[in-house]
Amino acid sequence: LKKTAAKVRTRANLVQHLAGTSWGANANVLRISALSLVFSAAEYCAPVWLNSAHVGDVDIQLNRVMRTISGTLMATPLPWLPVLCNIAPPEVRRRDALMKEYNKILSAPDLPILQDLPPVRNRLRSRKPPLQLAQLLQNRNFSATSSWTETWGEFEGRNYTLVTNPSTKLRGMDLPRREWVALNRFRTDVGRCNYW
């Protein structure tokens, strides 16, 4: 995952150049660019490595891209980033990819992979096989939108009551870059100084 994080970092730099300080693309352009360039590379084979101990290296780069899109600062609480960018949190996106893959395998009973799926055994406590997580998520009727809404409901940061449904697009994404950044800094109550 170290190489994946490095690849994502270089692609995140491209999105950062698009954001620019003097002209800057609007949030919709940055969002689409990030999804196609950065998130696609970051989530390649994600159902296999979503339980890895190094998943945080990739998440750091994805959070950096979301900060670029929203124009927020490092002090902005992490739950705000996906809401402002209208992109589901990385963990939720990985679990959704796992469920899609698992349901695809189960929907075709003639696939030889079903014969290769062993019953899940926990030999070591440190191992977290994705198959076990997929079965658990299927039993809980996992939905990306409901999981994201539940995560947002647990967040109690400043101004969190401004957003009731995190999966809906916030107003102002079509604004010019400067106004969009200022609006998001007011929403999160995190600015360059304490005096507004």
pLDDT 10s digits, 60-86: 999 999 999 998 999 999 999 999 999
Nearest-angstrom CA–CA distance, 143 and 194: 38
pLDDT 10s digits, 136-184: 898 999 999 999 999 999 998 888 888 989 999 999 888 888 888 899 9
- The stretches of the chain forming alpha helices (DSSP H) are 2-19, 27-33, 40-42, 46-49, 55-70, 80-85, 90-107, 113-116, 130-139, 144-154, 177-188
pLDDT 10s digits, 123-143: 666 667 788 888 889 899 999
pTM of the model: 0.86
Nearest-angstrom CA–CA distance, 35 and 159: 27
Phi-psi region of 163 (alpha: psi -120 to 50; beta: other; left: phi over 0): beta
Spatial neighbors of 38 by CB under 8 A, at least 6 apart, are: 8, 11, 12, 15, 61, 62, 65
* Cβ pair 73, 65 in contact under 8 A: no
In the three-class reduction of DSSP (H, G, I as helix; E, B as strand; rest coil), residue 22 is classed as coil
User: In this predicted structure, what is the pLDDT of residue 62?
Assistant: 94
Nearest-angstrom CA–CA distance, 124 and 2: 24
Spatial neighbors of 36 by CB under 8 A, at least 6 apart, are: none
- Selection from 47, 30, 12, 33 nearest residue 181 by Cα: 30
Helices 177-188, 55-70: axis angle to 10 degrees equals 120
Tokens of 24: 């800057």
Q: Has residue 120 got a pLDDT over 70? A: no
pLDDT 10s digits, 96-117: 999 998 898 888 888 887 776 6
User: In this predicted structure, what is the pLDDT of residue 194?
Assistant: 61
pLDDT 10s digits, 2-60: 888 898 899 898 888 888 766 668 888 899 999 999 999 998 988 888 888 889 999 99
